[in-house]
Every structure is written in structure tokens, then in C-alpha cells.
Amino acid sequence: GSFIGEIPFAVYLRTVHSPGDGLEALEWFEKLTRYLGTFAPSPDADRVYGLCEPTALPAKSSVEPDGTEEYRASYTVRYRQRA
């Protein structure tokens, strides 16, 4: 039979530590989230895809000793698998 599935994924962004980089990273994620909210993969023979949705807001995930910061946001795409 058919079923509903999910494809989870994460996007990481690394910045060099300087004033304002963290804010720029969060602004970049905001733009990406808006874009992904309008994006759905093309249907294929077996699946019909829904829109991409955020599952975790962007946040700083690590800071390296050299000051490089890493940010992460999580998303998912739901799909219906045809029988």
C-alpha cells in the first residue's frame, strides 16, 4: 500500500569569527527557510512530495578554538509513497 514518509536533513554554516558574522548567519538561514518553504521536489513515478518545513530553528552548534562558529538548522520534506 501507500504510506507517508519523511526525508530529514540539516544545513550547516561556518563563519569566521568577526563582529556581526553570527547575525549574518542567522539572516542567511532566514532567507533559506523562506525559500525552502516554497520549494517541493518534483513528483516522480513513486512519490508525491510536500513542501520543505523547518524542524529546528537555526542555532549556534559549535565554536572552534580559532573562533570559527558553526550554525545548524534542520528541515524535513514529507512525501506520499504510491502503492
Bridge partners, 4 (sequence order): 80
Provide the pairing of β-strand 3-15 with 69-81. Answer: antiparallel
Alpha carbons 14 and 69: distance in angstroms, whole number = 6
Q: Indicate the average pLDDT of the chain.
A: 87
Cα gap 58→48, rounded to integer Å = 27
Model confidence at 12, pLDDT cuts 50, 70, 90, reads very high
Position with higher pLDDT, 83 vs 33: 33
Per residue in 51-76, pLDDT tens? 889 999 999 999 888 888 899 999 99
Distance CA 76, CA 27 (A): 20
The pLDDT, as a whole number, for residue 8 is: 96
Instruction: Provide the pLDDT for residue 15.
Output: 85
